[in-house]
Amino acid sequence: MAKTPNSKPARPTKRAGATRPAAARPAATDAAELGAGGELHQRGGDALTTNHGLPLSDNQNSLRQGSRGPTLLEDFALREKIFHFDHERIPERIVHARGSGAHGFFECTAPIPGLTRASLFQTKGERVPVFCRFSTVAGGAGSVDTPRDVRGFAVKFYTHEGNWDLVGNNIPVFFIQDALKFPDLVHAVKMEADRGFPQAASAHDTFWDFVSLMPESTHMIMWAMSDRTIPRSFRMIEGFGVHTFRLVNDEGVATFVKFHWRPRLGLQSTLWDEAVKLAGADPDFLRRDLWDSIDSGAFPEWDLAVQTFDQELADSLPYDILDATKLIPEEIVPLHVVGRMVLDRNPDNFFAETEQVAFLPSNIVPGIDFSNDPLLQGRLFSYLDTQKSRLGTTNFHQIPVNAPKCPFANFQRDGMMQTLVPTGRANYEPNSLDLAGEHPGPRPPADGFGTYAEEADGPKARVRSETFADHYSQARLFFRSQTPVEQTHMVSALVFELSKVTLAPVRNRMLANLGNVDASLAERVAAGLGCPLPAASPAASDPIDLGLSPTLSIVNKARHTLTGRKVGILFTDGSPVAKITKLAAAVTKAGATPVLIAPKLLQVATKPTPMDADGQLAGTPSVTCDAVAVVVTERGAAALAADSAAVQFVADAFAHLKAIGHTPEAQVLLDAARVQAGDGVVGLGADFIAAAARRFYEREALVRPLP
């Protein structure tokens, strides 16, 4: 492997080349009313009006000819209301349809002017607004939050030089190398064309048929079958730009760069059984978690880090940096943190902001440029094209969430839903109207964006570089870099997914591909399916051992902390208030949120005074919490032991490897749930607070068969 450089960024290498009646209406203003983020809000006050400002005296009845007669065509209020309702939904995104967004800011913490002229990286402490959207990929807008799926991670930076959209995922690689295959990939993973299911799932014939025939997908499959695709929270996922980009400085010198988001709360995922039960308990679990954390003032934060390297290092690697199915391990090119993102404001309107936000990989700023990654090159075309289909107009950039917060001007005019009022006589450039004393309009600035002058040659042909031919080495690197626990989870995921495949040749083909990744992996998956193990499939390029990268493991990078987590405290009639409040205070001090849970919601007969719960037991299962505590008397424990919801509450917490704190009197409930003594099953003191900050993977063999 290439020699590991120091932890500083690589040195750049020089390269070639509504209203009310007048009496009650406030004084009119020329300026639109703006929200906290500069977005346009409806004007008006108490009076209900039409969209054009006409006050309406009746919003309950249509205009009829007599009380039981026909409705009249002239009822413009009815027509306007129904017309708007009929068109409230726009075509959902083909992928990334189910999303959650938030406003915030990006702050530069370590300027890199030597690497890039991009304004947001020039000065320490410089801040720009951002809008960030997280999403699932395969499911429709009405699907659930917690399926096994890649998570989109897209950030719109409103910089002083225009919008920069860093549009990526929570995984640093992708399924395919060339954008030409993207429609095939999406068609394969979406619900099957003849039957319209499954929704938001990859465990079906067409997906595995496609990827088994596309060996280049193998590395991404390893990530997709890992715990990365069943995250605990959007606040606890990493983000990646996926592609190799360029940074360009004032001298025109370019440096290759890969972008990484690192959550300050650390990485955390769920278990598969936990994710499945979360989908039933709260289909909006991740969306609610993001909203509640911001609403409570616990603002999520990420560090933005870069991997920078020159052409010399790129040439030394045994894989191609333009191949989106490959990553560069941190051990080869370390990460350098250049800033932080804080999400501190929820949207005012989900549709206007989260649904209408339009991300474009082609939105870049001076100092950032593209590489020749063929997947990226296709995305530059596709995203702009799809926004016109979704939002209905080329003027989608005028929607407040999409509009830059810096001045913008050009000679583009008209189009559907034109909300600006362009002025001036000239709508073309160049023009000479300044000679006639009229303003000529905007002109290209000397220091505007200029494409990096990379030399290229060769014949026009539909070909793929031979350097893209190794499809298995990095898949092997990823699998072998996981801890044994994580490897077992990957095997279990593959067994589950392939068990849903009804076509034996597809299963066999996939097993043959896995044989090129790791023999033990293929053997364990075949054994889990009860299939004979086929020989490894022929490889376009023989896989090689690339060493290990422990930083690719969630468990290796785990932060044993309660910050940002939730602790469920189960109590019932007779429970001592003092113990509950003391425990809740300790949980809060540790940075977590205590969630009080009881068989009924209000006025639980605790001692000495009644208290309310935050959640009712059947509606707040333990899957919604990161650790649980049971604060009950002997009588209360006996009552809970006869309640299947309570037994399941504790049993799931144990099966999902979470800490369980309890009063001695709770033992009868623990026995009913078959909780075994051991690490993580503790009293209510400091031991519980410490235990609640982690998962107890060593318990897993006790609670489920492992492949």
Q: Tokens standing for 628?
A: 């649980």
Measured CA to CA, the distance from residue 387 to residue 396 in angstroms comes to 7
Q: Which candidate, 566, 675, 683, places its Cα nearest to that of 623?
A: 566
Tell whether omega for the bond before 599 is within 30 degrees of 0, i.e. cis: no
243 is annotated as an active-site residue: no
The sheet carrying 566-571 orders its strands as 615-616, 593-598, 566-571, 627-631, 660-662, 681-682
Measure the CA–CA gap between 676 and 653, rounded to whole angstroms: 12
Whole-number Å distance between alpha carbons of 489 and 494: 9
User: How far is CA 132 from each of CA 22, 344, 401, rounded to the nearest angstrom?
Assistant: 41, 11, 11
Say if CB 305 and CB 338 are below 8 A apart: yes
DSSP string covering 122-177, please?
Answer: SSTT-EEEEEEEEEESSS-TTS-S-SS--EEEEEEEEETTEEEEEEEESSSS-S-S
Closest CA to 417 of 388, 441, 384: 388
442 contact partners, CB below 8 Å, separation of at least 6: 409, 410, 411, 429
In the numeric block, which tokens belong to residue 53? Answer: 């400002």
Q: Which of 103, 163, 169, 170 is catalytic?
A: 169
Q: 166 - beta bridge partners?
A: 155
Both tokens assigned to 38: 């500069």
Q: Is 187 a catalytic residue?
A: no
State the Rg of the chain over Cα: 29
Q: Angle between the 473-480 and 504-517 helix axes, to the nearest 10 degrees?
A: 80
Going by their DSSP bridges, the two strands 660-662 and 681-682 should be labelled as parallel
Place of tokens 């009712």: 616
531: left (phi over 0), alpha (psi -120 to 50) or beta: beta
Residue owning tokens 């606890």: 236
The one-letter amino acid code at 448 reads: G
C-alpha distances in Å from residue 585, one per residue of 252, 295, 571, 593, 632 = 56, 20, 16, 9, 18
- The two counts, helices (H) then strands (E), for the chain are 18, 16
By residue count, the chain amounts to 707
**CA–CA gap between residue 242 and residue 372 (Å, rounded):** 13
Q: What is the separation, in whole angstroms, between the first and last Cα of the chain? A: 33
Contact 518, 222 (CB under 8 A): no
Cα 470 from Cα 476, distance rounded (Å): 11
Question: Which token pair is 85?
Answer: 């309702």
Residue of 6, 61, 84, 96 with catalytic role = 96
Q: 34 - beta bridge partners? A: 40
Residue type, 238: E
Q: Which residue has the tokens 């902390």?
A: 561
User: Could you tell me which residues come within 8 angstroms of residue 181 by beta carbon, excluding any fewer than 6 positions away?
Assistant: 214
Q: Name the residue among 489, 493, 496 with its Cα closest to residue 656.
A: 489
CA 176 from chain centre, in angstroms, equals 20
127-136/151-159 β-pairing: antiparallel
Token output for 145: 């939050």
Residue 685 token pair: 């003191």
Active site residues: 96, 169
